[in-house]
Structure 1
Amino acid sequence: MNEQTIYRVLGSDEWAKAVALGEYQGAPHDIADGFIHFSTGETLAATLALHYAGRDHLKLLHVPVAPIEAYIKWEPARGGTLFPHLYAKLKVADVFRVDDVNLDENGVHILPEDLR
């Protein structure tokens, strides 16, 4: 499986730390699992609702698969849906776009126009 772009949600503070280091090492659950969890365009809204409910001021990283494909494994989760898992640190240079993700008045995350 090869999506052109995969997505990672993280807190603004986590992204600032990654930029300072030049790489994102993952959240504690990523480190414990041994890989960095990503979403596809199709699973992004569900990931936000399930794992980031009520969290505001998030960052959405857009990462092209091609430069990191050797370190990506597509593995089943959530009822067998395949998710991209990165078995390496994510270099900040491999992120081609970063969007802010905030909550609307109903507490629902607002995705960028092109991902709705």
Structure 2
Amino acid sequence: MPDTPTTAYKVLTGAQMAALERDGSFAGAPVDLADGYVHLSTAAQLAGTVDKHFAGQDDLHVAAVDLAALGDAVRWEPSRGGALFPHLYAALPLDAVIAYGPLERLDDGGVRLPVAG
């Protein structure tokens, strides 16, 4: 896939973020467990993911994930509208998360990406 992003993003509830920090890995949200992989989004897909799957929810967090650290466990597969989304066929390890923070919306409707600090 040309110009494949090296970072993807996972939206987590406050409880899921706390579990990732506590346990050092995250097996997935109920939808992830049902589908058999952890759903991730690229930066360009993130706002659409939040709007479609997390509308009206509070206490959300965004984790930036280093895809290279996950190796062959990541597969790019068609999803919404045929767009390719990164899917993680393993638990998300905390050591692959390069930054995270509370989900914040920008004035243009986008999502502020977490920055490693």
TM-score of the aligned structures, taking structure 2 as reference length: 0.86
Residue 80 (structure 2) pairs with residue 78 (structure 1): yes
Is 1:33 aligned with 2:47?
no
**Aligned 8 A contact 2:62 2:114 in 1:** no
- 1:48 alignment partner in structure 2: 50
Amino acid aligned to 1:112: R
User: Does the 8 A contact of 2:37 with 2:89 survive in 1?
Assistant: yes
Extract unaligned runs of 5+ from structure 1. none
How much has 1:102 moved relative to structure 2?
Answer: 4.4
Unaligned 5+ residue runs, structure 2?
A: none
Q: Equivalents in 1 of 2:95, 2:109: separation in Å?
A: 26
Contact 2:47 2:110 in 1 (8 A): no
Once the two structures are superposed, residues 22-50 of structure 1 have per-residue CA deviations (whole angstroms, 9 ceiling, x without a partner) of 10110011011110000001111100000
The TM-score, its normalising length taken from structure 1, stands at 0.87
Deviation at 1:69, TM superposition (A): 2.5
1:68-106, Cα deviation, whole Å (9 max, x unpaired):
1310010001111000000000111110100211468xx
Aligned amino acid, residue 74 of structure 2: I
- 1:45-68, CA deviations, whole angstroms, 9 ceiling, x for partnerless residues? 100000000112211000111111
1:14 corresponds to 2:13: no
Partner of 1:63 in structure 2?
65
Residues in 2 aligned to 1:68 and 1:110: alpha-carbon distance in whole angstroms:
26
Q: Which runs of 4+ in 1 moved over 4 A?
A: none
* Percentage of identical aligned residues: 38
Aligned partner of 2:112 in structure 1 is 112
The change in CA–CA distance for 1:113 and 1:3 in structure 2 (over 3 A counts) is closer
Cα distance between partner residues in 1 of 2:86 and 2:113: 23
Q: How far apart in 1 are the matches of 2:113 and 2:101? A: 11
Amino acid of the residue matched to residue 11 of structure 2? V
Superposed displacement of residue 12, structure 1: 1.1
